[in-house]
Amino acid sequence: MMQRLKPFDHLILILGALFLCMPVVMAFASSTHTAIDIHSNGLYVTPGSNGAETYTKVLTQRGGFTGEVTGLTMLMNSMILGVGFAVGKIVLSMMAAYALVYFRFRFATPIFWVIFTTLLLPLEVRIMPSYQVMSELKLLNTYQGLIVPLLASATGTFFFRQFFKSVPDELLEAARIDGAGPVKFFIDILVPLSRTMMAAIFIIMFIYGWNQYLWPMLMTTDESFFTLMRGIKTILQVWVGSQIPDYNEAFALAVLAMVPPLVVVLVFQRMFIKGLTESDK
Amino acid sequence: MGQISFKSVGKTYAGGVTAVSDVTLDVAEGEFIVLVGPSGCGKSTLLRMVAGLEEITDGEIDIAGRVVNRLDPADRDIAMVFQNYALYPHMTVKENMAYGLKNRRTPKAEIEARVAEAARMLELQPYLDRKPRALSGGQRQRVAMGRAIVRQPAAFLFDEPLSNLDAKLRVSMRMEIRKLQRRIGTTSLYVTHDQLEAMTLADRLVVLNGGKVEQIGKPLEVYHRPASTFVASFIGSPAMNLLDARVEGGQVWLGGAAMGPAGRAEGPVTLGIRAEDLRPAPASQGVALKVEHVEELGSGRVVHGHVDGQALAVSMAPGLPIGDVLHVGAAPEALHLFDTTTGRRIETRTRAAELVL
Amino acid sequence: MARLRGFWEGSSRNPAKRVQFDRPLTPWLFVLPQLLIVAIFFYWPSVQAVTSSFYLEDPFGFGSTFVGMDNYTDAISSREYRRIAGFTAFFAVMVTALSLSIGLLLAVKADKVIRGASAYKTALIAVYAIAPPVSGLIGMMFFDMHMGPFTEMAAWFGYEMKVGINYNDTAFALILVAVWKQIPYNFIFFLSGLQSVPVSVREAALIDARSGWRRFKDIVLPLLAPTAFFLLIINITYSLFDTFAIIDVMVKDKPANNPMTLVYKVYLDGFKGNDIGGSSAQSVILMVVVAALTVAQFRFLERRVHYG
């Protein structure tokens, strides 16, 4: 397709890219300088020489009130939350979407609405009672408590429902003639067919789980369950009152917290966008 | 073993729409039946009812001696070839063909043997380990056929299997399907909207319109003795000329000319004449056609014009001179008369002659 | 509601597939895990929120008293609550409008260029991955009163920026960071929406309309409408809820006189102020607002959007 190239278009794109990326670059660059340098010179655009020291300290030094939690522990916990949430979401929502799309099912419409309603109200508006429910179920300070309540929303179900609807009807028909029952069709045909979708949803949900802030903050008082996001909160609590805050360590923690999802998005960029595009039908 | 019989089969949707009504048909073992009609005529629905993909609301379908109304598609002993092939995209050609057998717990060695045999017949051996997306349209079509063949079912069901192919490939695949079916001898039901495909493939045609059977018969029978104006206009290309005419004194009159004897009919009729049955005639015997346009086809030409204000097409040999007005006529047996209100055929001489015989 | 139903095609009169399995039990097996989780972790707390909004809980946990609508009237008649509601609305409108329009602009440009297209795309998408609290932390550093580059920039113009202390400065910083974080999301969706416009349609447009703006307005924009509609809801939800972490981090856990959103206030009253009844009443008000907003958006936009 022919279109004239305008330098103006590039200018806008470059400005946009700078606006979006500079803070990230500067956060990383600054994390490799000392706190004193940052305090006197401001933020850096180029890397310094203090990186190894800062990152070793952030990753391995025990901090917090009990002296139990290290950056590494928090990294682990964030990983568990991200992966656990993504896997749980995919399993639950694929199954539910399958029931809604592929079955002649008297309660399909009411169930659809029961699940759909969860889209209207995010966790944040019912955070207090959710906390109370969790404490009644004795799930505070557990991985289940961290992960399972986040699964109570329909986003994944809708992605898969849309995707399943776009799968040609004839595939089910051919499979039925080939003697596949509901479970066989699901496992033999639909799941392998959804691999790209699953990967895309995994990426999105992993990031969503990894990035959770409010829920882990409430659910975990035991520091051995702290995630990186919870760690950021801890840093802030000691921030006020110190002479020269540990800018470098704060930046290092920010970098640790953003690198895994960033890598996932950049490495799987194509699949990630493809998945979103296909689910948007 | 592979007979299929339809007994007053019908389909009415929950909303009250009737898609198919009162189809009665006996398909003999090894017969190739083509269901043909315009889109929305119910031919696909009928096929899908045989497959078990649509519920049968009236009547009974019987495959190989079993009433299948309540059976699951998998238990009906049929195999189906879909218009969009419906190959499993994540499986190789081999896996696609083997899947139905695997689900039926066929022994591994036998699966291998059947797949190999089908691949040989369809010349698919080089592609067995490829995924469908790495194949051309024609090859995918063959895989879909292979998937049906390996099952060795009582019947093959084809749902417009050639519609997604280009014209040239369609012609060659058409011949291949026919040859293959003859060789294997499996009863086949084939749905198409393409009358040429229907004519060339079928042992017998079932012409459907608005969910009802218009005519069942051998291709030439249907061609030469269409049971209604609908069939007359649907089968054959160019479509049969249908004209308003009158029968008076045992003669069919068109545009002031007597075209031929009309048997027992009387009053206004619809006269059907195929373009190729019309011949130039002396001015005293033929009807005058005002020539408007000539289509050159190379092997012949089609002359379009008006008779008595009605459009008429005439096929002619190349080279014959054509003026502004052409007098044409047809042999008495080439005249088809239809009732003007019901559109049904009115039997004339031919029927009488047959009765005498 | 009937029209909504048509939009989502959830009706059984219009089944998702021509052929479906007809088993009484199997679908329950598949849908049950999700239903259970939704029931326990969505409906139970939601019902609890409604119930406890009618009670006044003793701060020391010695039981509670039924107070009827008091918690609601208290909330609504409070001037502070109204001020926060006003800011929340302003914040949501600003964040949604800015991040949608910038995302669209960048997507249109990225869709046009050929040279360097993938580099631009990567650069513009990357920030999607960054968590709200992390972007809050980065934002906080950029607006730091000792060394933040934005504070220094403001100082050149003779303005002393006090994010975290000055109400308006903090509001500005919050909006900027919230927009920054959300642009990539909108960009991704707009770009994929643009790229799904068939080449033949674009070529037809090229022949029919000389001006690029007309082509965009008359052909591309209507085709983008479903995407924009979807994004509008997502962005409003984002600015109301997902920005919690940005706010919490940027005000350094010290809301004091800083601007905050309604969700933040729910958290503040519930967890810090131990006013469970009041916080629940606010939760319920939010639930109603959000639900109404979503339904209204469906109804309003449905008529104007071409669903392809």
Q: For every residue of A15-69, which 3-state class applies, written as one string?
A: HHHHHHHHHHHHHHHHHCCCHHHHHHHCCCCCCCCCHHHHHHHHHHCCECCCCCE
Q: Is residue A48 part of a domain?
A: no
Looking at the predicted structure, is the pLDDT value of residue B357 above 80? no
d(CA A22, CA B53) in angstroms, rounded, equals: 58
Banded pLDDT at C4 (limits 50, 70, 90): very low
Complete DSSP assignment for C75-91: HHH-HHHHHHHHHHHHH
* Residue B13 at interface with chain A, using a CB cutoff of 8 Å: no
The CATH 3.40.50.300 domain(s) of chain B lie at 4-228
Q: What is the CATH number of the domain that holds A86?
A: 1.10.3720.10
pLDDT of residue A234: 80
Instruction: Collect all residues with Cβ–Cβ distance below 8 Å to A219 and sequence separation of at least 6.
Output: A131, A134, A139, A140, A141, A145, A146, A225
β-sheet bridge partners, residue B155:
B78, B187
Instruction: Name chain B contacts of C18, Cβ cutoff 8 Å.
Output: 53
**Rounded mean pLDDT, A29-34:** 91
Instruction: Using CA coordinates, name the residue in chain C closest to B48.
Output: C19
Instruction: Collect all residues with Cβ–Cβ distance below 8 Å to A113 and sequence separation of at least 6.
Output: C10
> Which of B201, B310, B320, B210 minimizes the C-alpha distance to B255?
B310
Looking at the predicted structure, is the pLDDT value of residue C1 above 60? no
**Rounded mean pLDDT, C16-22:** 83
d(CA B243, CA A172) in angstroms, rounded, equals: 48
Size of interface A-B (CB pairs under 8 A): 57
Tokens of A16: 């946009």
**Domains of chain C by residue range:** 87-302
Contact by Cβ (8 Å): B132, B159: no
Which amino acid does the sequence have at C293?
A: L
Of C121, C149, C286, the CB nearest to A125: C286
B79/A177 touch (CB, cutoff 8 Å), yes or no: yes
d(CA B348, CA B329) in angstroms, rounded, equals: 18
Rounding to the nearest 10 degrees, give the CA dihedral for residues B132, B134, B139, B142: -20
A193/B51 touch (CB, cutoff 8 Å), yes or no: no
Instruction: Name chain B contacts of C19, Cβ cutoff 8 Å.
Output: 53-54
Banded pLDDT at B70 (limits 50, 70, 90): very high
Mean pLDDT, chain B, whole residue set: 91
d(CA A129, CA A190) in angstroms, rounded, equals: 38
Instruction: Using CA coordinates, name the residue in chain C closest to B53.
Output: C19
pLDDT of residue A104: 87
Banded pLDDT at A231 (limits 50, 70, 90): confident
User: Any idea which residue has 């195999």 for tokens?
Assistant: B79
Can you list the alpha helix ranges (DSSP code H) found in A118-193? 127-136, 143-147, 155-166, 169-177, 182-184, 191-193
User: Any idea which residue has 């595939």 for tokens?
Assistant: A171
Output DSSP code: residue A218: H
* Residue A10 at interface with chain B, using a CB cutoff of 8 Å: no
**Rounded mean pLDDT, A134-151:** 91
Q: Could you give the 3-state DSSP secondary structure of residue A70?
A: coil
Tokens of A6: 């305008």
pLDDT of residue C301: 55
Instruction: Please write down the long-range contacts of A39-42, taking CB distance under 8 Å and 24 or more positions apart.
Output: A39/A244, A39/A247, A39/C146, A39/C147, A40/C147, A41/C147, A42/C147, A42/C148, A42/C149, A42/C152
User: Which of A177, A188, A191 has the most B C-beta neighbours within 10 Å, making it the best mutation to test the interface with B?
Assistant: A177
Could you tell me the maximum CA-CA distance found in chain C, to the nearest angstrom?
76
Instruction: Name chain C contacts of B53, Cβ cutoff 8 Å.
Output: 18-19
Q: Which of residues 170-209 of A touch B (CB under 8 A)?
A: 170-171, 173-180, 184, 188-189, 192-193, 195
pLDDT of residue C227: 82
Of B75-84, B131-140, B294-303, C248-257, the poorest mean pLDDT is in: C248-257
Instruction: Name chain C contacts of B54, Cβ cutoff 8 Å.
Output: 19
Looking at the predicted structure, is the pLDDT value of residue A64 above 50? yes
Looking at the predicted structure, is the pLDDT value of residue A196 above 50? yes
Contact by Cβ (8 Å): A26, A44: yes
Shortest distance, CA B33 to any CA of chain C (angstroms): 25
Q: Which of residues 155-174 of A touch B (CB under 8 A)?
A: 168, 170-171, 173-174
Chains touching B, CB cut-off 8 Å, 3+ pairs: A, C
Shortest distance, CA A236 to any CA of chain B (angstroms): 50
Instruction: Name chain A contacts of B79, Cβ cutoff 8 Å.
Output: 177
The β-bridge relationship of strands B287-296 and B301-307 is antiparallel
Looking at the predicted structure, is the pLDDT value of residue C33 above 70? yes
Of A39-48, B67-76, B174-183, C197-206, the poorest mean pLDDT is in: C197-206
Q: Could you give the 3-state DSSP secondary structure of residue B83?
A: coil
Contact by Cβ (8 Å): B187, B31: yes
Of A92-96, A196-200, B7-11, C8-12, the poorest mean pLDDT is in: C8-12
Sign of the torsion angle spanned by Cα atoms A212, A213, A219, A224? positive
Q: Is residue A93 part of a domain?
A: yes
**Rounded mean pLDDT, B222-245:** 94
Banded pLDDT at B240 (limits 50, 70, 90): very high
Buried b / exposed e over A243-270, threshold 16 CB at 10 Å, is: eebbbbbbbbbbbbbbebbbebbeebbe
**Rounded mean pLDDT, B8-14:** 93
Q: In this predicted model, what pLDDT tens digit does every residue of C35-76 receive, in sequence order?
A: 999 999 999 998 988 888 898 876 666 677 888 888 899 888
Of C41, C193, C241, the CB nearest to A148: C41
Q: Domain B238-356 carries which CATH code?
A: 2.40.50.140
What's the structural domain count of chain A? 1
Looking at the predicted structure, is the pLDDT value of residue B288 above 50? yes
Instruction: Name chain C contacts of A108, Cβ cutoff 8 Å.
Output: 10, 12, 27
C199/A254 touch (CB, cutoff 8 Å), yes or no: no
Instruction: Collect all residues with Cβ–Cβ distance below 8 Å to A135 and sequence separation of at least 6.
Output: none
Could you list the beta-strand ranges (E) of C152-211.
none
Percent of chain A with pLDDT over 70: 91
Distance of alpha carbon B324 from its chain centroid, rounded?
37
d(CA A64, CA A61) in angstroms, rounded, equals: 10
d(CA B55, CA C22) in angstroms, rounded, equals: 12
Of B80, B84, B104, the CB nearest to A168: B84
Q: Is residue A66 part of a domain?
A: yes
Instruction: Name chain C contacts of A33, Cβ cutoff 8 Å.
Output: none
Looking at the predicted structure, is the pLDDT value of residue A280 above 70? no
B273 to each of B265, B277, B310, how far by Cα in Å? 17, 7, 13
Banded pLDDT at C160 (limits 50, 70, 90): confident
Shortest distance, CA B202 to any CA of chain A (angstroms): 24
* Residue B64 at interface with chain C, using a CB cutoff of 8 Å: no
Q: How many CB atoms lie within 10 A of CB B151?
A: 24
Q: Which helix (H) or strand (E) holds C299?
A: helix C276-302
Percent of chain C with pLDDT over 90: 30
> Which of B246, B80, B62, B57 minimizes the C-alpha distance to B156?
B80
Instruction: Name chain C contacts of B44, Cβ cutoff 8 Å.
Output: none
Of A1, A108, A127, the CB nearest to C267: A127
Instruction: Using CA coordinates, name the residue in chain A closest to C109.
Output: A9
pLDDT of residue B352: 44
Percent of chain B with pLDDT over 70: 97
**Rounded mean pLDDT, A181-198:** 93
Of A178, A193, A195, the CB nearest to B103: A178
C127/A20 touch (CB, cutoff 8 Å), yes or no: yes
pTM of the model: 0.84
B24 to each of B155, B214, C39, how far by Cα in Å? 18, 12, 53
Looking at the predicted structure, is the pLDDT value of residue C3 above 60? no
C85 to each of A126, C53, C78, C98, how far by Cα in Å? 18, 19, 11, 20
Query: Of A221-225, B7-11, B162-166, C273-277, which one has max mean pLDDT?
Result: B7-11
Of B53, B88, B103, the CB nearest to A173: B53
Q: Domain C87-302 carries which CATH code?
A: 1.10.3720.10
Classify the phi-psi angles of B239: left when phi > 0, otherwise alpha if psi is within -120 to 50, otherwise beta. Answer: beta
What φ, ψ does residue A3 adopt, rounded to 5°?
Answer: -150, 145
Size of interface A-C (CB pairs under 8 A): 330
A179/B74 touch (CB, cutoff 8 Å), yes or no: yes
Tokens of C65: 């008293």
pLDDT of residue C302: 55
Instruction: Name chain C contacts of A168, Cβ cutoff 8 Å.
Output: none
Size of interface B-C (CB pairs under 8 A): 3
* Residue B52 at interface with chain A, using a CB cutoff of 8 Å: yes
B1 to each of A230, B60, B73, B104, C305, how far by Cα in Å? 72, 18, 18, 20, 56
Instruction: Name chain C contacts of A182, Cβ cutoff 8 Å.
Output: 21, 23, 26
List the domain range (segments joined by +) for residue A84.
Answer: 61-279
Q: Count Cβ atoms within 10 A of the Cβ of residue C35 and give its class: 0-12 exposed, 13-18 middle, 19 or more buried.
A: middle
Q: Does domain B4-228 have CATH number 3.40.190.10?
A: no
Looking at the predicted structure, is the pLDDT value of residue C5 above 50? no
pLDDT of residue C206: 80
Looking at the predicted structure, is the pLDDT value of residue C12 above 50? no
Of B82, B99, B100, the CB nearest to A170: B82
Rounding to the nearest 10 degrees, give the CA dihedral for residues A268, A185, A112, C240: -10
**Rounded mean pLDDT, A81-88:** 96
Q: Does B238 sit behind a cis peptide bond, omega within 30 degrees of 0 on the bond before it? A: yes
Q: Is residue A26 part of a domain?
A: no
Banded pLDDT at B20 (limits 50, 70, 90): very high
d(CA A266, CA B194) in angstroms, rounded, equals: 51
Instruction: Name chain C contacts of A254, Cβ cutoff 8 Å.
Output: 134, 137-138
Instruction: Name chain A contacts of B83, Cβ cutoff 8 Å.
Output: 170
Percent of chain C with pLDDT over 70: 88
Looking at the predicted structure, is the pLDDT value of residue A2 above 60? no
A152/C38 touch (CB, cutoff 8 Å), yes or no: yes
Q: Could you give the 3-state DSSP secondary structure of residue B59?
A: strand
d(CA C14, CA C3) in angstroms, rounded, equals: 14
pLDDT of residue C61: 63
Sign of the torsion angle spanned by Cα atoms A36, A41, A43, A45? negative
Query: Of B64-78, C210-224, C253-267, which one has max mean pLDDT?
Result: B64-78
Banded pLDDT at B60 (limits 50, 70, 90): very high
**Rounded mean pLDDT, B219-235:** 95
Banded pLDDT at C6 (limits 50, 70, 90): very low
Q: How far apart are the first and last CA of chain B?
A: 35
**Rounded mean pLDDT, A128-141:** 88
What φ, ψ does residue C115 adopt, rounded to 5°?
Answer: -70, 125
Chains touching C, CB cut-off 8 Å, 3+ pairs: A, B
